[in-house]
């Protein structure tokens, strides 16, 4: 067990996300509309390897979120997320997450798309994926606010630039779990990403849990910093116990 996982006493497994040419033969494949429960949640809760390709992703948001080429119609998505003007003949409005499609489009345009739909995304127990030498892109923790707080503090432990170590960007749950943290991995100053603020997807996670996703290189830094940070102090178990 990693020092970080041991220190924060997670009730679920950290999940590694990486890509392969096709779905591994030993992987569980989703069949429901939302891929979050049958990919991320199943792997985190049971340790079962889970994977999907474009043919096994049934939500248009996951085409962007899980790196299969992007949302095919961002204009429609922007309308679907917005309050539409009176008299609009659009059939896709109503969620009212944003005041208008222009604002929704601005938020969506900040999320980078990956892939061309010709490979597979794999979710695997982190320790297993590391032992197998997988080309890990993102690591995901599912945790309560106390442990999220600890992870966010650790993410900023050796940060040499001002500003937050963890961000909470708008996005579909799958984008918060994979596409956004993958993009952070391309930066010299990567951030952790708080996720599962997608109100639709929250039905698939415990009411007191969120996701904390980091590019793999940031995870490795965090792991190396455990012993010299607050997590390595004798007082940490008592602090954790008082907060949960």
pLDDT of residue 78: 86
Q: What is the pTM of this model?
A: 0.94
The confidence band for 79, taking pLDDT boundaries of 50, 70 and 90, is confident
In this model, does residue 160 exceed pLDDT 70?
Answer: yes
The pLDDT tens digits for 221-237 are 999 999 999 999 999 99
In this model, does residue 204 exceed pLDDT 90?
Answer: yes
- Report the share of the chain in percent with pLDDT over 70: 97
pLDDT of residue 93: 53
pLDDT of residue 89: 61
Q: Which residues contact 161 (CB under 8 A, 6 or more apart)?
A: 189
pLDDT of residue 50: 98
The pLDDT tens digits for 132-156 are 999 999 999 999 999 999 999 999 9
Is the CB of residue 144 less than 8 Å from the CB of residue 5? no
In this model, does residue 209 exceed pLDDT 60?
Answer: yes
Q: Mean pLDDT over all residues of the chain? A: 94
CA-nearest of 226, 6, 26, 232 to 129 is: 26
In this model, does residue 10 exceed pLDDT 70?
Answer: yes
The pLDDT tens digits for 59-77 are 888 999 999 998 878 888 8
Say which residue, 172 or 76, is predicted with more confidence.
Answer: 172
DSSP letters for the chain: --HHHHHHT-SS--EEEEEESS--TT-B---SS-STIIIIIHHHHH---EEEEGGG---HHHHHHTTSS--S-HHHHHHHTBPPPTT---SS----SBSSHHHHHHHHHTSPP---SSSEEEEEEHHHHHHTT----EEEEEE-HHHHHHHHHHHTTT--SSS-SEE-----HHIIIIIHHHHHTTSSS--EEEE---TTGGGGS-TT-EEEEEEHHHHHHHHHHTTTSGGGSTTHHHHHHHH-
pLDDT of residue 84: 76
How large is the average pLDDT for residues 98-124?
94
Give the CA dihedral 215, 21, 73, 184, nearest 10 degrees. 10
Residues 146, 135: Cα–Cα separation, whole Å: 30
How large is the average pLDDT for residues 104-124?
94
């Amino acid at each position: 067990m990693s020092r970080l996982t041991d220190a924060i006493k997670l009730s679920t497994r950290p999940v590694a996300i990486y890509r392969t040419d096709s779905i591994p033969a030993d992987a569980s494949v989703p069949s429901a509309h939302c891929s979050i429960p049958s990919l991320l949640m199943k792997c985190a809760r049971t340790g079962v390897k889970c994977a999907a390709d474009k043919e096994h992703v049934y939500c248009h948001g996951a085409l962007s979120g899980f790196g299969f080429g992007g949302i095919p119609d961002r204009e429609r998505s922007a309308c679907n997320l917005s309050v539409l003007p009176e008299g609009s003949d659009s059939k896709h409005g109503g969620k009212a997450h944003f005041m208008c499609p222009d604002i929704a489009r601005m938020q969506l345009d900040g999320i980078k798309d990956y892939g061309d739909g010709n490979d597979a995304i794999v979710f695997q127990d982190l320790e297993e994926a590391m032992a197998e030498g997988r080309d890990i892109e993102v690591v995901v923790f599912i945790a309560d606010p106390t442990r999220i707080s600890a992870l966010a503090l650790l993410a900023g432990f050796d940060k040499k630039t001002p500003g937050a170590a963890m961000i909470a960007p708008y996005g579909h749950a799958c984008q918060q779990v994979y596409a956004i943290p993958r993009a952070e991995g391309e930066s010299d100053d990567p951030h952790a990403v708080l996720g599962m603020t997608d109100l639709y997807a929250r039905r698939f996670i415990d009411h007191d849990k969120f996701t904390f996703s980091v590019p793999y290189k940031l995870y490795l830094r965090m792991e190396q910093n455990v012993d010299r940070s607050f997590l390595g102090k004798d007082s940490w178990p008592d602090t954790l116990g008082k907060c949960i």
